[in-house]
Amino acid sequence: MEDNKEEVISKNFIEQEIDKDLSEGVYNHVQTRFPPEPNGYLHIGHAKSILLNYGLAKKYGGKFNLRFDDTNPTKEKTEFVESIIEDVKWLGAEFDDRLYFASNYFQEMYDCAVLLIKKGKAFVCDLTAEEIREYRGDFKTPGKESPYRNRSVEENLRLFEEMKDGKYKDGEKVLRARIDMSSPNINMRDPVIYRVARMTHHNTGDKWCIYPMYDFAHPIEDAIEHITHSICTLEFEDHRPLYDWVVKECEFENPPRQIEFAKLYLTNVVTGKRYIKKLVEDKIVDGWEDPRLVSIAALRRRGYTPESLRMFVDLVGVSKANSSVDYAMLEYCIREDLKLKRPRMMAVLDPIKLVIDNYPEDTVEYLDVANNMENPELGGRKVPFGKELYIEREDFMEEPVKKYFRLFPGNEVRLMNAYFVTCTGCEKDENGNVTVVHCTYDPETKSGSGFEGRKVKGTIHWVAASTAAEAECRLYENIVDEEKGKLNEDGSLNLNPNSLTVLKRCYVEPSFEGARAYDSFQFVRNGYFCVDCKDSTPGHLVFNRIVSLKSSFKIAK
């Protein structure tokens, strides 16, 4: 009994509804779908929907469909179709051969509309869009019936066929469901279900000049595909009566049921397609996959993994209440995913030369370095060391501040995985900028030698100058100004001018040779970085910083 009780408690409300439907014999299987409209790239919120729908199908031994809701050709492109397919596959949501397009059901939708007309449940209306809105009323005022509502079945069939045959201009006539103009639910006040629109469709070309509206098409698509549970976000809750009306009046057997859940909102990020489209068109970002965005393609390019997004979605959970999630939680998930999987490599992002004056000339020593101290299974590598090194500029101060334990004249530090060195001075250019730091080393202090003498408080990383590879590193911050808020008073985005910093002259150890697109690493002390898939080449490595090493975010226990 205790085991059963625990199982019920651990299930989310959607799973409890599915359990009830299966136990009562409403359905004998589970089939879900992810139904994106191909009018832009998917974002992090869509990842939640994809993984939820796929996860439910997998948990119940059912099937998962990928279906494009491509009923509005004004904004849809093949580019978006291809990017969505790639995103869904990358997340690991397997749809096998179940890739569908709503546009392939246009004939069935047309037949359903004809059936509604014959049943007296639909009529052709000549009111303009503005008049239809005016007649609809509002939450306080009931709607007013269209003067065309009582046309005969024969006239409606003729007019609808003429709409299909292209005899009317765009917007001249629409087909409306005949439901209830006094309904407290405005969606049920004779909604438009077909409109005339002379547009070339990415899939059907110019075959059709009338197109179904989403609220009419979507339930039919689900019913045709034998979807059992149509999982959608909360804004469709008020549309559920219309969904149920359509599948009932179109006489589908064992129709699907709609269940709503809360959307995923991330703090201070841009997910609206209208905003992203403008950023892309104004060339403020490098396309829909710019790493400052949270499209799935952008997160993939930045270096996020499918596993990290799945962890994030699991932590967010499924609920009926809208809420916002801190972006730091997403960063926590990628850190958790990468920290034991990726090697810890040395890269210097803001280099200054360090010369070890007493180290032998023309000598290259290969030091043993563990790839990941926390995961011995990742093995180790040989890292070259020599007289001249590159270190981070911030690791030297001529006049140190209080509690500064790195290099300054007279201070001794450990060079990571190498030796103790003592700073003896520096060289400067004509402007007073430090160009070279000098030091001496103690050969008795080699890492791994068992040296147990004096202690030092500072350890710094380095790259040998003679074997270093030059690289470009890109550091990202939020594209919107978090302190001032996402939007300006005029509704435009309040952009962060420092959202991208490009460091052209970075140095990395030679172990990076052969790194390929999307390969990720921990740069010691600098964060997690990924090889850029778009601009990096074998002769010019470009790294995107995925995330810094530390965060104040704490996961609730």
Tens digits of per-residue pLDDT, 383-401?
999 999 999 999 999 999 9
Return the amino acid letter for 9: I
Q: For 395-436, what is each residue's pLDDT tens digit?
A: 999 999 999 999 999 999 999 999 999 999 999 999 999 999
Q: Which domains does the chain have, with CATH numbers?
A: 2-105+213-265 (3.40.50.620), 106-211 (3.90.800.10), 273-338 (1.10.1160.10), 344-547 (2.40.240.10)
| Rounded CA separation 221/109 (Å) | 8
Q: Report the pLDDT averaged over residues 439-458.
A: 91
| Rounded CA separation 516/428 (Å) | 38
Contacts 24+ apart (CB under 8 A), 110-114: 110/164, 110/210, 112/220, 112/246, 112/250, 113/160, 113/175, 113/193, 113/194, 113/212, 113/216, 114/157, 114/160
Q: Report the pLDDT averaged over residues 60-72.
A: 96
Confidence of residue 76 (pLDDT cuts 50, 70, 90): confident
| Rounded CA separation 324/176 (Å) | 37
For residue 555, pLDDT beyond 70: no
For residue 556, pLDDT beyond 90: no
> Alpha helix locations (H) across 60-186?
78-90, 106-118, 129-136, 153-164
For residue 2, pLDDT beyond 80: no
Could you tell me if 380 and 370 are in contact, meaning their C-beta atoms sit under 8 angstroms apart?
yes
| Paired tokens of 286 | 């490098």
Could you tell me if 298 and 280 are in contact, meaning their C-beta atoms sit under 8 angstroms apart?
no
Confidence of residue 484 (pLDDT cuts 50, 70, 90): confident
Q: Which stretches does DSSP call E strand in 41-113?
A: 63-68, 99-101
State pTM to two decimals: 0.91
| Rounded CA separation 149/64 (Å) | 40
Mean pLDDT, the chain, as a whole number?
A: 93
Q: Report the pLDDT averaged over residues 163-185.
A: 96
| Rounded CA separation 221/198 (Å) | 22
For residue 4, pLDDT beyond 80: no
For residue 8, pLDDT beyond 50: no
Going from the C-alpha of 47 to that of each of 86, 239, 257, 287, the distances in angstroms are 12, 23, 22, 19
Q: For 367-381, what is each residue's pLDDT tens digit?
A: 999 999 999 999 999
Q: Report the pLDDT averaged over residues 77-106.
A: 96
Cβ within 8 Å of residue 85, ≥6 positions away = 66, 99
| Rounded CA separation 246/217 (Å) | 9
DSSP annotation string for 28-89: SS-EEEE---SSS--BHHHHHHHHHHHHHHHHTT-EEEEEE----TTS--HHHHHHHHHHHH
| Rounded CA separation 524/359 (Å) | 24
